[in-house]
Every structure is written in C-alpha cells, then in structure tokens.
Amino acid sequence: MSTHQSGSGRVGICFPDRPDFPTLLAAAKQADAKGFESIWVFETRLARDWVSQAGAIAAVTTRAKIAPGVTNSWSRPAPIMAMTLATLDEMAPGRMMLGIGAWWEPLASKVGVDRRKPLTQIREYVEVFDRLMALERVTYHGELVHVDDLELDLAEDRPRIPMHIPVLIGATGPKMLHAAPQFADGVLLNFMTSPSYTADAVARIRAGAEEVGRDPNTVVHPQIIACAMDEDGDRARDVSREMLTMYLGQQPHIGLASGLSADYVAELHDRMGGWPPEPGGLQRAMALVDDTVVDQFTASGTPDECLAAARRYVDAGAEYPIPVVLTPETTMEIVEAFADFT
C-alpha cells in the first residue's frame, strides 16, 4: 500500500440528495477536469441510491476515484455488492472505491434490518467482498455473514483478472475507528463532526493500525465536511443549520462523538419528534442550533470561510477534505473554490 500524507492540496467532492442531476454531472465533470482526487455520493437516507449516481458519474469522468460515502453492509449481500463493484469497474477501470458503514437507527430497523454486532458483521462482510473481488471461489460461515461456494461470473467477454477495490469504512464510534484499519483500506471520516473529533478519530485509527503491525500512514482517511457556500455567509449558515439539526436529531451518535451533551442531543430529538420529523419539528429543533455550533461542525459561509474551515479539519489530521454540497445553487462555485484548496 502507498503512503498517504495529509493535505498537500488534495480534495474531493460529495453530493448528498442534491443538486439536480444535470448540475451534479456537470459538477462531477468539472471536478474531474480540475484534478479532484475523488467524487462521492450519499446513500444514508431513502433519498437517492449510490449505484445509479456512480454509474452516471463514471460515464462523464475519466480520472477521479468514485465511491459511495457511504452505503451500508446490510441491504446488499456481499456477493451482490461485489458484482456491483465489478460492473462499475468495467465502466471506470481502476477508479472505484467502496465507502461502507454499519447503517444507523432507526432507519435500519424501519426497513426490517436487525443490526446485531455491527462490527463483527462488517468485518465479515469486507472479508467476503475482498475475496470475491480477488476472484476466489468462496465458502464462508461467519457469525453473521454466510456464503456457500460462490465466485463472481463477470461479463462473458471480460478477462478473469483479480480486482482490488479499496474499502473505506464509514466509522464514527471509537470501536469501529480502532478496528477499521485492521480489516479495510481506510476510514471515511464522518461529517457533522468537529475538528477536535477528527483529531481524536485519527489517533484511534493510528492506534488500531499499530496494534496489528500496520503502518498507520497507509490507512486512507479523508473526511467528508458539510459545506454551504454563499457570498451571504449568514444565508449559508442557515442552510447548514437545517441539515445539521436534522442529522444531530436523527443520528445522535454523531453529535455525541464530538462532545455535545446527551441532554442537548436528546432535546433536539424531542423537538423534532423523532425521525422522520413531525410537522414543524425540524424548525423547532433548529432554534437550539446557533452559529457557534454551525461553525464548529460544518464549513459554511463565504468561499474563503469554507476553505478556512476545511483547512481546520486537515490540520486536525484528515487526509484531505471532501466538501458535501448543501447549497445546490452554488454547486459549481464550491467546485471552483475547492480546486484552489492547499
């Protein structure tokens, strides 16, 4: 594995449930032309699936890596995920990565998934995925993942050349951060977290690598960062405030990991009325999220303010920043601004 250095002008871009597809593809094409290292798409809520987006992005780009940021290890069995990545690798040879996490509550249970022992499950899942991508015939009976006598068929005219698709774990909690470098290529550091969280997370990643004799500098660890950009910085912060409130209310582990109090996060959740939010609940909860919290957890404001905020995450140890587009009307401006990130 190669050695990875933090910063050095590297940058990615990530699209959540926005912008519209013509703008998304134009931005992806521009990011690719500007030398962005990676392009990511969300699949965290029931908004857009990552596979459709990745295929479209692959068709309009030639150089940047492409990945979900992140999908989950429950809704697609490992062999189906391997088939999906093998197909996308045909479309974008050598450019695919897999960002994958253990999902979150209550979404998982609402779709009928019992997230038992998430660390055990994702470790077993990645092992099976890697072996299938290496074109092994796999029989595997783990505690939670089971495969019997399977191998990838591949397309009829495709040479059977083993593939390695880098796997980045969407880890937030301390156990997953510590364990991820022991079975995956790296970690995609979560968004809606603070730079102080990043520093702690990177220390845990390095400790986990060292525990198994792996060079910590080989562990990939970029960070997605919520980014609302506007020449009117206050307007940008208001956009981030809405998204931040929603995530802190529906996925409390994110805020707790950054040091927010359990009482504060619980009140956000209560005001929202659970997830999905009840009518008017999101607006009630937003009143608790002031500009100090927005600036602590996001890169929001003018272009210069967004770049300065992203730099704080890199200074805290993130390998490189991946702004997550929250202001669809300034999507192209975000690409242009971060093309100059150093």
Which residues lie below 8 Å from residue 342, measured CB to CB, with a gap of 6+? 7, 9
Percent of the chain residues past pLDDT 90, beyond the cut: 92
- Main-chain phi, psi angles of 291, to 5 degrees: -60, -30
Give residue-wise pLDDT tens across range 37-67.
999 999 988 999 999 999 999 999 999 999 9
Q: Strand 65-68 relative to strand 71-72: parallel, antiparallel, unpaired? A: unpaired
Cβ–Cβ under 8 Å, residues 202 and 318: yes
Distances in Å between the Cα of 5 and the Cα atoms of 9, 38, 155, 250 are 10, 15, 37, 34
Angle between helices 233-250 and 262-272 (to 10 degrees): 90
3-class state of residue 306 by DSSP: helix
Sign of CA dihedral 22, 24, 30, 33: negative
Supply 234's token pair.
Answer: 């206050």
Opening angle at CA 265, ends 290 and 73, nearest 5: 115
Q: What is the DSSP string of 52-68?
A: HHHHHHHHH-SSSEEEE
Question: Rounded to an integer, what distance in angstroms lies between the CA atom of residue 22 and that of residue 326?
Answer: 16
| AA letter at 250 | Q
| AA letter at 287 | A
Which residues lie below 8 Å from residue 102, measured CB to CB, with a gap of 6+? 72, 73, 74, 115, 118, 119, 121, 122, 170, 176
The closest of 191, 187, 169 to 258, measured between CA atoms, is 191
* Tens digit of each residue's pLDDT, the chain (342 residues): 445 545 457 999 999 999 999 999 999 999 999 999 999 999 988 999 999 999 999 999 999 999 999 999 999 999 999 999 999 999 999 999 999 999 988 888 999 999 999 999 999 999 999 999 999 999 999 999 999 999 999 999 999 999 999 999 999 999 999 999 999 999 999 999 999 999 999 999 999 999 999 999 999 999 999 999 999 999 999 999 999 999 899 888 889 999 999 999 999 999 999 888 999 999 999 999 999 999 999 999 999 999 999 999 999 999 999 999 999 999 999 999 999 998
Domain 12-338 has CATH 1.20.930.40: no
What predicted TM-score, i.e. pTM, was given to this entire model? 0.94
DSSP 277: P
